[in-house]
Structure 1
Amino acid sequence: MREFFLKTKRLGFSVWSEGDILDALELWGNSEVTRYISYEGKMSKEQIYQRLKKEIDTFNNHNIQYWPIYYIDSNENIGCCGLRPHDSENNILELGIHLKDKYWGEGFAKEACLAVIEHAFVTLKANGIFAGHNPKNLASANLLKKLGFIYTHDEYYEPTGLYHPSYLMTREDYNSKQTQLE
Protein backbone atom coordinates (compact mmCIF):
# COMPACT_ATOMS: atom_id res chain seq x y z
CA MET A 1 0.00 0.00 0.00
CA ARG A 2 1.30 3.44 -0.93
CA GLU A 3 1.85 6.21 1.54
CA PHE A 4 0.05 9.47 0.79
CA PHE A 5 1.26 12.84 2.05
CA LEU A 6 -1.94 14.54 0.86
CA LYS A 7 -5.46 13.15 0.54
CA THR A 8 -8.89 14.20 -0.66
CA LYS A 9 -12.13 12.28 -0.32
CA ARG A 10 -11.19 10.00 -3.24
CA LEU A 11 -7.54 10.68 -4.04
CA GLY A 12 -4.14 10.12 -2.49
CA PHE A 13 -0.98 11.99 -3.52
CA SER A 14 2.36 10.19 -3.43
CA VAL A 15 5.88 10.95 -4.67
CA TRP A 16 7.35 9.59 -7.92
CA SER A 17 10.26 7.17 -7.64
CA GLU A 18 12.18 5.19 -10.24
CA GLY A 19 10.08 2.17 -9.26
CA ASP A 20 7.00 3.92 -10.67
CA ILE A 21 8.09 3.50 -14.29
CA LEU A 22 5.09 1.29 -15.15
CA ASP A 23 2.66 3.96 -13.92
CA ALA A 24 4.64 6.59 -15.85
CA LEU A 25 4.60 4.50 -19.03
CA GLU A 26 0.85 3.91 -18.71
CA LEU A 27 0.18 7.62 -18.13
CA TRP A 28 2.53 9.39 -20.54
CA GLY A 29 2.51 6.51 -23.02
CA ASN A 30 -1.17 7.20 -23.68
CA SER A 31 -1.51 9.50 -26.70
CA GLU A 32 -4.90 10.74 -25.40
CA VAL A 33 -3.08 12.10 -22.34
CA THR A 34 -0.09 13.54 -24.22
CA ARG A 35 -1.78 14.95 -27.34
CA TYR A 36 -1.84 18.42 -25.79
CA ILE A 37 1.48 18.34 -23.90
CA SER A 38 4.02 17.49 -26.59
CA TYR A 39 4.68 18.64 -30.14
CA GLU A 40 4.35 15.14 -31.57
CA GLY A 41 1.24 14.43 -29.48
CA LYS A 42 2.88 11.32 -28.06
CA MET A 43 5.96 10.48 -26.05
CA SER A 44 8.57 7.81 -26.74
CA LYS A 45 9.68 5.44 -23.98
CA GLU A 46 12.91 7.45 -23.68
CA GLN A 47 10.93 10.69 -23.31
CA ILE A 48 8.79 9.04 -20.61
CA TYR A 49 11.88 7.87 -18.72
CA GLN A 50 13.26 11.44 -18.96
CA ARG A 51 9.93 12.88 -17.79
CA LEU A 52 9.92 10.59 -14.74
CA LYS A 53 13.54 11.53 -14.00
CA LYS A 54 12.62 15.23 -14.30
CA GLU A 55 9.78 14.82 -11.78
CA ILE A 56 12.10 13.01 -9.34
CA ASP A 57 14.80 15.67 -9.79
CA THR A 58 12.26 18.47 -9.25
CA PHE A 59 11.20 16.83 -5.99
CA ASN A 60 14.80 16.32 -4.86
CA ASN A 61 15.67 19.96 -5.65
CA HIS A 62 12.44 21.78 -4.71
CA ASN A 63 10.32 19.33 -2.67
CA ILE A 64 7.50 19.60 -5.26
CA GLN A 65 6.61 17.75 -8.45
CA TYR A 66 3.63 16.69 -10.52
CA TRP A 67 2.86 14.06 -7.87
CA PRO A 68 1.34 10.72 -8.85
CA ILE A 69 -2.27 10.50 -7.73
CA TYR A 70 -4.13 7.35 -6.81
CA TYR A 71 -7.77 6.45 -6.48
CA ILE A 72 -7.84 5.53 -2.79
CA ASP A 73 -10.50 2.80 -3.12
CA SER A 74 -8.44 0.73 -5.60
CA ASN A 75 -4.92 2.16 -5.09
CA GLU A 76 -4.84 2.60 -8.89
CA ASN A 77 -2.77 5.40 -10.40
CA ILE A 78 -5.08 7.78 -12.25
CA GLY A 79 -2.47 10.35 -13.29
CA CYS A 80 -0.46 13.14 -11.73
CA CYS A 81 -1.15 16.59 -10.36
CA GLY A 82 1.19 18.99 -8.69
CA LEU A 83 3.56 21.88 -8.83
CA ARG A 84 6.86 22.94 -10.28
CA PRO A 85 8.90 26.12 -9.91
CA HIS A 86 7.75 28.92 -12.20
CA ASP A 87 9.03 32.24 -10.84
CA SER A 88 11.21 31.47 -7.82
CA GLU A 89 12.10 35.11 -7.22
CA ASN A 90 8.42 35.94 -6.59
CA ASN A 91 7.54 32.55 -5.04
CA ILE A 92 5.14 31.63 -7.86
CA LEU A 93 4.63 27.94 -8.59
CA GLU A 94 3.16 26.29 -11.68
CA LEU A 95 0.17 23.93 -11.45
CA GLY A 96 -0.18 20.96 -13.77
CA ILE A 97 -2.37 17.89 -14.10
CA HIS A 98 -2.33 14.87 -16.41
CA LEU A 99 -5.13 12.31 -15.98
CA LYS A 100 -5.57 8.97 -17.72
CA ASP A 101 -8.43 9.38 -20.17
CA LYS A 102 -10.66 6.79 -18.49
CA TYR A 103 -10.87 9.18 -15.50
CA TRP A 104 -11.91 12.25 -17.48
CA GLY A 105 -15.30 13.75 -16.68
CA GLU A 106 -15.45 12.30 -13.14
CA GLY A 107 -14.48 15.46 -11.25
CA PHE A 108 -11.02 14.09 -10.38
CA ALA A 109 -9.16 16.96 -12.07
CA LYS A 110 -10.99 19.62 -10.07
CA GLU A 111 -10.67 17.63 -6.83
CA ALA A 112 -6.92 17.08 -7.32
CA CYS A 113 -6.23 20.68 -8.36
CA LEU A 114 -8.14 22.12 -5.40
CA ALA A 115 -6.03 20.01 -3.04
CA VAL A 116 -2.80 21.11 -4.72
CA ILE A 117 -3.85 24.77 -4.71
CA GLU A 118 -4.59 24.61 -0.99
CA HIS A 119 -1.28 22.81 -0.37
CA ALA A 120 0.57 25.49 -2.35
CA PHE A 121 -0.91 28.44 -0.48
CA VAL A 122 -1.40 26.99 3.01
CA THR A 123 1.53 24.59 3.43
CA LEU A 124 4.12 25.91 0.96
CA LYS A 125 3.18 29.59 1.46
CA ALA A 126 3.30 30.36 -2.29
CA ASN A 127 2.55 33.92 -3.37
CA GLY A 128 0.90 32.77 -6.56
CA ILE A 129 0.19 29.87 -8.90
CA PHE A 130 0.69 30.03 -12.64
CA ALA A 131 -1.11 27.66 -15.02
CA GLY A 132 -1.32 27.34 -18.76
CA HIS A 133 -2.93 25.03 -21.30
CA ASN A 134 -2.71 24.07 -24.93
CA PRO A 135 -5.06 26.39 -26.84
CA LYS A 136 -6.86 23.33 -28.26
CA ASN A 137 -7.55 21.89 -24.79
CA LEU A 138 -10.91 23.42 -23.96
CA ALA A 139 -11.45 21.14 -20.94
CA SER A 140 -8.33 22.58 -19.28
CA ALA A 141 -9.45 26.12 -20.09
CA ASN A 142 -12.81 25.47 -18.42
CA LEU A 143 -11.18 23.81 -15.41
CA LEU A 144 -8.81 26.73 -14.79
CA LYS A 145 -11.69 29.20 -14.91
CA LYS A 146 -13.78 27.06 -12.50
CA LEU A 147 -10.82 26.93 -10.12
CA GLY A 148 -10.63 30.73 -10.07
CA PHE A 149 -7.57 31.36 -12.23
CA ILE A 150 -7.45 34.67 -14.09
CA TYR A 151 -6.21 34.84 -17.70
CA THR A 152 -3.11 37.02 -18.00
CA HIS A 153 -1.51 36.43 -21.42
CA ASP A 154 -0.49 33.89 -24.06
CA GLU A 155 2.95 32.38 -23.51
CA TYR A 156 5.11 30.36 -25.90
CA TYR A 157 5.47 26.76 -24.73
CA GLU A 158 8.40 25.02 -26.40
CA PRO A 159 7.22 21.38 -25.99
CA THR A 160 4.15 22.08 -28.18
CA GLY A 161 5.50 24.94 -30.27
CA LEU A 162 2.34 26.92 -29.50
CA TYR A 163 1.34 29.98 -27.54
CA HIS A 164 -0.62 28.73 -24.53
CA PRO A 165 -3.24 30.81 -22.73
CA SER A 166 -1.73 31.50 -19.32
CA TYR A 167 -3.37 32.23 -15.98
CA LEU A 168 -2.49 33.31 -12.48
CA MET A 169 -4.04 32.88 -9.04
CA THR A 170 -2.49 35.09 -6.37
CA ARG A 171 -2.53 34.47 -2.65
CA GLU A 172 -5.04 37.36 -2.40
CA ASP A 173 -7.29 35.67 -5.02
CA TYR A 174 -7.13 32.43 -3.04
CA ASN A 175 -7.81 34.09 0.32
CA SER A 176 -10.72 36.06 -1.15
CA LYS A 177 -12.22 32.88 -2.59
CA GLN A 178 -11.83 31.06 0.76
CA THR A 179 -13.56 33.93 2.55
CA GLN A 180 -16.47 33.73 0.09
CA LEU A 181 -16.84 29.98 0.79
CA GLU A 182 -17.10 30.48 4.56
Structure 2
Amino acid sequence: MAFNSTVETLPEMGRFSLRCKRENTVAMSKALGFELPSSISESAQSGGMTALKLGSDEWMLTCPMEARSEIEKSLAAIYPDAVHSLTDISSREVSIRISGPKAEELLSTSCPRNLAELKSGRGVRTIFDSVQVILTREEQNQFRLDVWRSFVPHVMGLLTVAVAEFECGL
Protein backbone atom coordinates (compact mmCIF):
# COMPACT_ATOMS: atom_id res chain seq x y z
CA MET A 1 0.00 0.00 0.00
CA ALA A 2 1.45 3.40 -1.05
CA PHE A 3 1.92 6.09 1.59
CA ASN A 4 0.42 8.70 -0.75
CA SER A 5 1.53 11.86 1.10
CA THR A 6 4.29 14.33 0.30
CA VAL A 7 6.84 16.38 2.21
CA GLU A 8 8.39 19.28 0.28
CA THR A 9 10.40 22.40 0.96
CA LEU A 10 8.63 25.48 -0.41
CA PRO A 11 10.22 28.36 -2.34
CA GLU A 12 11.43 31.38 -0.39
CA MET A 13 8.79 33.82 0.79
CA GLY A 14 8.84 37.19 2.48
CA ARG A 15 8.15 37.04 6.23
CA PHE A 16 7.74 39.69 8.87
CA SER A 17 7.19 39.67 12.58
CA LEU A 18 4.69 42.44 13.32
CA ARG A 19 4.03 43.66 16.85
CA CYS A 20 1.60 46.44 17.76
CA LYS A 21 -0.91 47.45 20.38
CA ARG A 22 -4.60 46.68 19.86
CA GLU A 23 -5.45 50.36 19.33
CA ASN A 24 -3.11 50.48 16.31
CA THR A 25 -4.52 47.46 14.46
CA VAL A 26 -7.08 49.54 12.51
CA ALA A 27 -4.32 51.75 11.07
CA MET A 28 -2.12 48.70 10.42
CA SER A 29 -4.97 46.92 8.63
CA LYS A 30 -5.65 49.97 6.46
CA ALA A 31 -1.96 50.25 5.51
CA LEU A 32 -1.77 46.53 4.64
CA GLY A 33 -5.02 46.58 2.67
CA PHE A 34 -6.88 43.96 4.70
CA GLU A 35 -8.03 43.45 8.27
CA LEU A 36 -5.54 41.87 10.65
CA PRO A 37 -7.01 38.81 12.38
CA SER A 38 -8.20 39.53 15.91
CA SER A 39 -8.17 36.02 17.44
CA ILE A 40 -5.01 34.05 18.21
CA SER A 41 -4.38 31.31 15.60
CA GLU A 42 -6.65 33.05 13.05
CA SER A 43 -5.30 34.01 9.64
CA ALA A 44 -6.41 36.46 6.97
CA GLN A 45 -5.29 36.68 3.35
CA SER A 46 -5.35 39.23 0.58
CA GLY A 47 -3.49 39.33 -2.72
CA GLY A 48 -0.74 36.87 -1.87
CA MET A 49 -0.20 38.23 1.63
CA THR A 50 -1.20 36.35 4.78
CA ALA A 51 -1.34 37.52 8.39
CA LEU A 52 -1.41 34.90 11.15
CA LYS A 53 -2.09 36.09 14.71
CA LEU A 54 0.35 34.33 17.04
CA GLY A 55 -0.17 36.27 20.26
CA SER A 56 -2.09 39.15 21.79
CA ASP A 57 0.07 41.72 19.98
CA GLU A 58 1.95 39.55 17.45
CA TRP A 59 1.36 38.56 13.82
CA MET A 60 3.46 36.77 11.24
CA LEU A 61 3.05 38.29 7.80
CA THR A 62 3.99 36.27 4.72
CA CYS A 63 4.14 37.55 1.16
CA PRO A 64 5.96 37.08 -2.13
CA MET A 65 9.63 38.11 -1.78
CA GLU A 66 9.16 41.03 -4.19
CA ALA A 67 6.35 42.52 -2.02
CA ARG A 68 8.54 43.06 1.06
CA SER A 69 9.67 46.62 0.30
CA GLU A 70 6.09 47.77 -0.37
CA ILE A 71 4.96 46.41 3.01
CA GLU A 72 7.89 48.10 4.74
CA LYS A 73 7.10 51.44 3.03
CA SER A 74 3.36 51.25 3.80
CA LEU A 75 3.91 50.56 7.49
CA ALA A 76 6.78 53.06 7.84
CA ALA A 77 4.45 55.77 6.53
CA ILE A 78 2.02 55.28 9.42
CA TYR A 79 4.61 54.75 12.16
CA PRO A 80 4.25 58.23 13.74
CA ASP A 81 0.51 57.62 14.28
CA ALA A 82 0.56 53.85 14.85
CA VAL A 83 3.73 52.80 16.65
CA HIS A 84 4.69 49.21 15.86
CA SER A 85 7.61 46.87 15.35
CA LEU A 86 8.07 45.31 11.91
CA THR A 87 11.03 42.95 11.55
CA ASP A 88 11.95 41.24 8.29
CA ILE A 89 12.59 37.59 9.17
CA SER A 90 12.54 36.28 5.60
CA SER A 91 15.96 34.66 5.75
CA ARG A 92 15.40 33.11 9.18
CA GLU A 93 12.83 30.47 8.28
CA VAL A 94 12.08 27.80 5.71
CA SER A 95 8.60 26.45 4.97
CA ILE A 96 7.92 22.74 4.64
CA ARG A 97 4.59 21.53 3.26
CA ILE A 98 3.18 18.18 4.33
CA SER A 99 0.18 17.10 2.28
CA GLY A 100 -1.92 14.07 1.52
CA PRO A 101 -4.34 11.77 3.33
CA LYS A 102 -1.77 10.81 6.03
CA ALA A 103 -0.38 14.34 6.59
CA GLU A 104 -1.96 14.73 10.04
CA GLU A 105 -0.77 11.29 11.13
CA LEU A 106 2.73 11.99 9.81
CA LEU A 107 2.99 15.26 11.76
CA SER A 108 1.68 13.53 14.88
CA THR A 109 4.86 11.43 15.01
CA SER A 110 6.77 14.44 16.41
CA CYS A 111 4.15 17.05 17.32
CA PRO A 112 2.34 16.74 20.67
CA ARG A 113 -0.68 18.85 19.62
CA ASN A 114 -4.03 17.29 18.87
CA LEU A 115 -3.97 18.23 15.18
CA ALA A 116 -7.59 17.17 14.69
CA GLU A 117 -8.53 20.31 16.68
CA LEU A 118 -6.58 22.65 14.35
CA LYS A 119 -9.08 23.88 11.77
CA SER A 120 -8.19 24.74 8.16
CA GLY A 121 -6.88 28.29 7.81
CA ARG A 122 -5.55 28.41 11.37
CA GLY A 123 -2.00 28.30 12.69
CA VAL A 124 -0.15 27.98 15.97
CA ARG A 125 3.29 28.16 17.46
CA THR A 126 4.14 24.66 18.70
CA ILE A 127 6.92 22.08 19.02
CA PHE A 128 8.02 19.51 16.46
CA ASP A 129 10.23 17.08 18.37
CA SER A 130 12.31 19.66 20.27
CA VAL A 131 12.08 22.44 17.66
CA GLN A 132 9.81 25.48 17.95
CA VAL A 133 7.79 25.81 14.72
CA ILE A 134 4.76 27.62 13.40
CA LEU A 135 2.27 25.05 12.15
CA THR A 136 -0.53 26.11 9.81
CA ARG A 137 -3.30 23.88 8.56
CA GLU A 138 -3.74 25.24 5.05
CA GLU A 139 -6.40 22.72 4.04
CA GLN A 140 -7.89 19.56 5.55
CA ASN A 141 -4.96 17.38 4.38
CA GLN A 142 -2.29 20.05 3.93
CA PHE A 143 -0.04 21.64 6.55
CA ARG A 144 2.87 24.09 6.48
CA LEU A 145 5.68 24.07 9.02
CA ASP A 146 7.71 27.30 9.31
CA VAL A 147 11.05 26.22 10.76
CA TRP A 148 14.16 28.18 11.64
CA ARG A 149 16.69 27.52 8.88
CA SER A 150 19.25 25.95 11.22
CA PHE A 151 16.71 23.31 12.34
CA VAL A 152 15.51 22.29 8.85
CA PRO A 153 17.94 19.33 8.53
CA HIS A 154 16.71 17.94 11.87
CA VAL A 155 13.00 18.38 11.02
CA MET A 156 13.41 17.01 7.48
CA GLY A 157 15.35 14.04 8.89
CA LEU A 158 12.50 13.23 11.29
CA LEU A 159 9.92 13.55 8.53
CA THR A 160 11.99 11.37 6.17
CA VAL A 161 12.26 8.61 8.79
CA ALA A 162 8.52 8.84 9.55
CA VAL A 163 7.65 8.60 5.83
CA ALA A 164 9.90 5.53 5.48
CA GLU A 165 8.23 3.90 8.49
CA PHE A 166 4.76 4.57 7.06
CA GLU A 167 5.82 3.17 3.68
CA CYS A 168 7.07 -0.01 5.39
CA GLY A 169 3.85 -0.34 7.34
CA LEU A 170 5.39 0.30 10.77
- The TM-score normalised by the length of structure 2 is 0.27
Larger radius of gyration: 2
- Higher-RCO chain (CA-CA 8 Å, sequence separation at least 6): 2
Higher helix share goes to which structure?
1
Per residue, is there more strand in 1 or in 2?
A: 2
TM-score (norm 1): 0.26
